[in-house]
Chain A
Amino acid sequence: MAGIEISALTKEFPGGVQALNGLDLSIADGEFFALLGPSGCGKTTLLRTIAGLETPTSGSVRIGDRDVTRLPPGARNVAMVFQDYALFPHMTIEDNIAYPLKIRRQARETRLKHAHDVGSQLGLDGLMRRRPAELSGGQQQRVALARAVACHPSAFLFDEPLSNLDARLRLEARTFLKRLQRQLGVTTVFVTHDQAEALALADRIAVMEAGRIRQIGTPREVFGRPANTFVAGFIGSTPMNLLPGVVRDGAVLVAAQQLSVLDVPDGEVVVGVRPEYVAVTENGPLAGAVATVENLGTSSLVTVDVDGLSIGAVVPEDREVEPGTRVALNPTRVLVYRDGELVS
């Protein structure tokens, strides 16, 4: 078991595409760490560089107390689960799980016994003699996990481990994955483009954009206090309201109404408020007519037109409002961004 240290990591692909740009990152031993970002942000390249499948242009990767930057993938003692699981179609499940041990020249009996132990730990009893094509997506995913577990690595690397499952199965697999990681206590880095998945699973999240890390923090920090407007817009199942505003004598104004008083210099700002933190009330600083109501199950997202601005607010299921009604909005936990960065 080991932490992962990445310093000044840069990866430039032939043709000049800069996938990673001077990245620094420190992942603690036993941590469940998410790399989150839109497609093309470099998160998969970062994971593959940790695995050794890509060589960095410059910078270094350390796993535990070893510098592995120039080591081949097989010498890094990490296990990777691929998005398509990469189960070998010509081998049975037991042979698939035992494959890493075969590479380490363990006797067939030893490695099959070990494969069966790991398999039953992951609920694969009775499937061990089948071939990957005969298994469901969820089962295949567990086989891929079992194969990773079987080689006792110092770190797990998961590339979009849940994205090939359908929505319902994904939630089950998420819980399963988190429990497994807690049990094993192995440092785990996983890549996802799904912010909900990252928030639910990770101890800490790195939000990436265009080869850079825009914020590192716990799910609570990243959700509650996004460091910049990119993270603010990316995290959250309902998009954050990012409203043009001004600060005058410490008063934060949106649509000429005062939302709160903060200790920030005067000037133009962007005001961020999560819809979950906007209360629909009888009297609040912002007033307008309800434009649309979207049902989210236990709550509804209400979009209100305030002086030409569309502001979202989440209301509980028994407090719904009809489109067209005039309401007042009372935003709390107001964040202020200047030049895209959080100032308060």
Chain B
Amino acid sequence: MMLVVKRILTYVVMGVGTAFFALPVLWLLSAPLDDTPTYAVRPPRTFSLDNFASIMDNRYAVASLVNSTILSLGTMVLVVSAAALAAYALSRARVPGRDALIYLLLLLSSVVTGTAAMVPIFLLIFQLGLIDSHFGVILVLTGGLLPAAIFLLKDFIDTIPPSFEESARVFGASPLQILRQIVVPVARPGLATIAVWTVVQVWGSFLTPFILLRDPDKQPAAVLVRTFYTEGGSPNLGLIAAFSLLYSIPVVLMYLLAWSRYGFRFHGGIKT
């Protein structure tokens, strides 16, 4: 009897929890197709694609998605290449105080992109003349994401036995050949994971681009969506919903792609 009650309670709690997280998703799927969307989750009253058409009319909307792509890919390239080199070096070289260094970086990284550092970062970027440039945002975001990326990648590279590289060395491979032919291919699932993670982080980041990009032509989607109001001053729900749906599709696709290719499983060397 107790077991049955326990089981019922478990399912009720799980059901409530699932509904809580499912409701916004359902709204995101139904509202964009609704002619007159409200905050309620309901099937579209009158089915229409007008909301998507109005996105095409908004001169900033499409550009903002392009901006998001530029920021994401730019940061991703910087983070993956810098983190791969740093993680490889930290994994293979005997640096005294290595672990302390990594933890310190990890700790400080949350400060770099955090609210507290926004004023100094703004001043820094201002003095570098990088306000209103994508490159400035990419630099700041890269700085914030690098420590965590290094930390994750180092853990991954630690599982690759050094004997792979030593074996290649004995056969006469140069350091560059070892990196290209052995280390990068073996570490590919780890690199892909970091790449997807970086893109998702940048895609959703608001504060840094909001502060460093003043020109609406350069703002990414996450920043632009805040300007979607009607002339009356109330949120333009149709536009926001349709735009949000478009905005979330790339991230979902990336997860599916990474999941199907690598399953987010790390595989290192053979067990010894």
> In the complex, what residues of B have CB within 8 A of residue A89's CB?
186, 267, 269-270
| Contact A86:B166 (CB < 8 A) given known A132-B270, A140-B270 | yes
Instruction: Of the listed stretches B2-10, B11-19, B171-179, B256-264, name the one at the interface; the rest are far from the partner chain.
Output: B171-179
Check B186 against A88 for contact (C-beta < 8 Å): yes
Instruction: Of the listed stretches A71-79, A109-117, A243-251, A288-296, name the one at the interface; the rest are far from the partner chain.
Output: A71-79
In the complex, which residues 55-101 of chain A have their Cβ closer than 8 Å to any Cβ of chain B? 72-76, 78-80, 82-90, 99-100
Q: Which of B172, B182, B272 contacts A100 (CB 8 A)?
A: B172
Check A74 against B270 for contact (C-beta < 8 Å): no
How far is B167's CA from A82's CA once the two chains are assembled, in angstroms? 8
Distance in Å: Cβ of B50 to nearest Cβ of chain A = 50
- Residue A104 at the B interface, CB < 8 A? yes
Q: Which of B170, B173, B188 contacts A53 (CB 8 A)?
A: B170
Check B186 against A84 for contact (C-beta < 8 Å): no
In the complex, which residues 64-114 of chain B have their Cβ closer than 8 Å to any Cβ of chain A? 94
> In the complex, what residues of B have CB within 8 A of residue A78's CB?
170
How far is B173's CA from A73's CA once the two chains are assembled, in angstroms? 9
> In the complex, what residues of A have CB within 8 A of residue B181's CB?
99, 102
- Residue A52 at the B interface, CB < 8 A? yes
Check B163 against A75 for contact (C-beta < 8 Å): no
How far is B163's CA from A100's CA once the two chains are assembled, in angstroms? 15
Q: Which of A52, A72, A86 contacts B167 (CB 8 A)?
A: A86
| Contact A74:B171 (CB < 8 A) given known A84-B163, A89-B269, A164-B272 | yes
- Residue B164 at the A interface, CB < 8 A? yes
Check A51 against B177 for contact (C-beta < 8 Å): no
Check B167 against A103 for contact (C-beta < 8 Å): no
How far is B165's CA from A86's CA once the two chains are assembled, in angstroms? 8
Number of contact residues on A: which range applies?
20 to 34
- Residue B161 at the A interface, CB < 8 A? yes
Check A74 against B172 for contact (C-beta < 8 Å): yes
Q: Which of B94, B173, B188, B267 contacts A74 (CB 8 A)?
A: B173
- Residue A151 at the B interface, CB < 8 A? yes
How far is B182's CA from A87's CA once the two chains are assembled, in angstroms? 10
How far is B177's CA from A337's CA once the two chains are assembled, in angstroms? 55
- Residue B130 at the A interface, CB < 8 A? no
Q: Classify the interface of chain B: helix, strand, loop or mixed.
A: helix
Check A99 against B272 for contact (C-beta < 8 Å): no
How far is B172's CA from A74's CA once the two chains are assembled, in angstroms? 3
In the complex, which residues 139-188 of chain B have their Cβ closer than 8 Å to any Cβ of chain A? 161, 163-164, 166-174, 177, 181-182, 185-186, 188
Check A85 against B171 for contact (C-beta < 8 Å): no
| Contact A88:B169 (CB < 8 A) given known A83-B272, A132-B270, A133-B270 | no
Check A74 against B164 for contact (C-beta < 8 Å): no
Distance in Å: Cβ of A12 to nearest Cβ of chain B = 15
Check B168 against A99 for contact (C-beta < 8 Å): yes
Check A80 against B167 for contact (C-beta < 8 Å): yes
How far is B269's CA from A80's CA once the two chains are assembled, in angstroms? 18
In the complex, which residues 287-312 of chain A have their Cβ closer than 8 Å to any Cβ of chain B? none
> In the complex, what residues of A have CB within 8 A of residue B171's CB?
74, 79, 99-100, 103, 151
Check B168 against A84 for contact (C-beta < 8 Å): no
> In the complex, what residues of A have CB within 8 A of residue B270's CB?
84-85, 87, 89, 132-133, 140
Distance in Å: Cβ of B4 to nearest Cβ of chain A = 46
- B94 nearest in chain A by CB position: A14
- B271 nearest in chain A by CB position: A84
| Contact A82:B163 (CB < 8 A) given known A88-B182, A89-B186, A99-B168 | yes
How far is B168's CA from A103's CA once the two chains are assembled, in angstroms? 9
- A82 nearest in chain B by CB position: B163
Distance in Å: Cβ of A135 to nearest Cβ of chain B = 10
- A77 nearest in chain B by CB position: B172
Check A90 against B185 for contact (C-beta < 8 Å): yes
> In the complex, what residues of B have CB within 8 A of residue A132's CB?
270
How far is B169's CA from A74's CA once the two chains are assembled, in angstroms? 6
**Residue from B168, B170, B185 with most neighbouring chain A CB atoms (10 Å):** B170
- A81 nearest in chain B by CB position: B167
- A80 nearest in chain B by CB position: B170
- B161 nearest in chain A by CB position: A84
How far is B171's CA from A87's CA once the two chains are assembled, in angstroms? 13
- A100 nearest in chain B by CB position: B171
Check B182 against A52 for contact (C-beta < 8 Å): no
Q: Which of B164, B166, B172 contacts A75 (CB 8 A)?
A: B172
Check A104 against B161 for contact (C-beta < 8 Å): no
- B164 nearest in chain A by CB position: A86
How far is B164's CA from A89's CA once the two chains are assembled, in angstroms? 9
Check B186 against A79 for contact (C-beta < 8 Å): no
- The 8 A CB mask of B233-272 against A (1 = contact, 0 = none) is 0000000000000000000000000000000000101101
11 A-B pairs within 8 Å (CB atoms) are namely A53-B169, A74-B170, A84-B161, A84-B163, A86-B161, A86-B163, A88-B186, A90-B185, A99-B168, A103-B168, A133-B270
Which residues of B approach A to under 8 Å, CB–CB?
A: 94, 161, 163-164, 166-174, 177, 181-182, 185-186, 188, 267, 269-270, 272
Shortest 6 CB-CB contacts between residues of A and residues of B: A74-B172, A86-B167, A86-B163, A100-B171, A82-B163, A90-B185
- Given A53-B166, A89-B186, 18 extra CB contacts under 8 A: A74-B170, A74-B174, A75-B172, A79-B170, A80-B167, A82-B163, A82-B167, A84-B161, A86-B163, A87-B270, A88-B164, A88-B182, A89-B267, A90-B188, A99-B168, A103-B171, A132-B270, A164-B272
